[in-house]
Structure 1
């Protein structure tokens, strides 16, 4: 019987989402205060349109 948790993950969108979430967690942990929205947007690569 194989290990039910030993699976191959081949979902590129999910991997990108996990990386973005990880980057936010790291930035939030390193910050003394709440991250401002512009910093969150920068980490997520969100472009601001004027």
Structure 2
């Protein structure tokens, strides 16, 4: 479990370092972490 969390943290760090804005939006964080909406389907 810890390795998964470290991997996700790394993905967030990469996204944050390449972002044009000062902070990542909640939507961008969800995208980076591959969060699935409550309905169960992602919109790709």
Q: What TM-score bracket applies, with the shorter chain setting the length?
A: 0.7 to 0.9
TM-score (norm 1): 0.66
Q: Deviations over 1:1-50 (max 9, x none)?
A: xxxxxxxxxxxx11100000000000000002121111101111211125
Alignment match of 2:17 (pick from 23, 26, 29)? 29
Report the RMSD for the aligned CA atoms in angstroms.
1.2
Q: Which runs of 5+ in 1 are unaligned?
A: 1-12
Larger radius of gyration: 1
Q: Which runs of 5+ in 2 are unaligned?
A: 40-44
TM-score (norm 2): 0.73
- Aligned pair count reads 38
- Runs of 4+ aligned residues of structure 1 deviating over 3 Å after TM superposition are none
